[in-house]
Amino acid sequence: MINTVIFDMDGLLVDSEPLWGIAMQEVFATVGVEISRELAAHTTGLRTTEVVDYWHDYFKWENKSTDQVTTEIVDTVTDKILTEGKSMEGLHYILDYFRQKDFKIGLASSSPMRLIQSVISHLDIKDYFQAVSSAEFEPYGKPHPAVYLACAQALHSSPLDCIAFEDSVTGMVAAKAARMKTVVVPEAHRRNDSRYALADLKLDSLLEFNDAMLARL
C-alpha cells in the first residue's frame, strides 16, 4: 500500500534551477568557460561534482581544480537561494496534503547536504521531512536509484510503497529505477519532452495533485 512520498528539491520545491544556471555561468567564467542554456540541459539533475567533471572533460581548463570549482558553485548558488530563492507553486499545498494523509515524507536530492539543509531551513519546511537524503553520499548519483533507495530505507518503507515527485528526466529515471510510482512536474519549456511518458503522472503544477490522482497510482 502506498504510504510514503519522496520529493526531489531543486526545480520542484524551490525555484532554484535558474539560480543554479547563473551560479554555474559565473563560476565557469572564472575558468574561461561559457555554457549556454541548451548545453546546461545536458547535466540537469546530476550531482554538482558530476556536472563539473563533465564540463572539465569537455573544456579541459587548467587554472582551477574541479574540487575548487565545485565548492565555488555550491557556495554561490547557496548564497543566491538564500537571498533570492522562492518556493515553487504549490509547495505548502503538497506537503500539507500528504501530511494530512499521514504519509511518511522524505526528500532525495542530488544537491550536497549542506545546500539541502540551507534550502529547507530557508523555506521553513524542515519539519515536514522524516528523512533527507543527498546523492553526495551515494556511490552513484541520479539517474541511478541509489538516493531514492537510501531515502526509502531511512523511512522504513518499501520502494513499492513510495511515490516520487520529480521535475527532471534524470530524476524521473532514478525514481522509476527504484520501482517507485513517479509524478513529474517539468519546467514549462520542457513539458513536451517525450521522455516524460515514462512517468505515471505529469503535472503542470504541484497544485494539480488530488485524491483522484492518488487513487490512480
What percent of the chain stands above pLDDT 90? 82
Neighbouring CB atoms inside 10 A of 160's CB total: 13
Give me the pLDDT at residue 150, please. Answer: 98
pLDDT tens digits for 22-31? 898 999 999 9
Mean pLDDT of 102-123: 95
CB 106 within 8 A of CB 5: yes
- This prediction has a pTM of 0.89
Mean pLDDT of 146-173: 97
| Residue matched to cell numbers 520501482 | 179
CATH classification of 4-14+87-216, choosing from 3.90.1150.10, 3.40.50.1000, 3.40.605.10, 3.40.50.300? 3.40.50.1000
79 is catalytic: no
9 pLDDT more than 90? yes
pLDDT tens digits for 162-190? 999 999 999 999 999 999 999 999 988 88
Q: Structural domain boundaries of the chain?
A: 4-14+87-216, 17-84
More confident residue, 45 or 125: 125
C-alpha to C-alpha distances, 72 to 16, 49, 121, 134, nearest whole angstrom? 16, 11, 21, 19
Average pLDDT, the chain: 94
Tell me what percent of the chain is helix, strand and coil, each rounded to the nearest 5: 55, 15, 35
Compute the distance between CA of residue 207 and CA of residue 129 in angstroms, rounded to an integer.
19
127 is catalytic: no
On whether the 17-84 domain is CATH 1.10.150.240, my answer is yes
Mean pLDDT of 113-123: 94
**Chain-centre distance of CA 63, in angstroms?**
30
pLDDT tens digits for 31-77? 998 887 777 777 877 888 998 999 999 899 999 999 999 999 999 99
3-state secondary structure of 75: helix
Compute the distance between CA of residue 97 and CA of residue 81 in angstroms, rounded to an integer.
25
In sequence order, the 6+-apart residues with CB closer than 8 A to the CB of 199 are 166, 172, 176, 182, 183, 184
Give me the pLDDT at residue 41, please. Answer: 76
Phi and psi (nearest 5°) for 141? -95, 175
**Chain-centre distance of CA 135, in angstroms?**
10
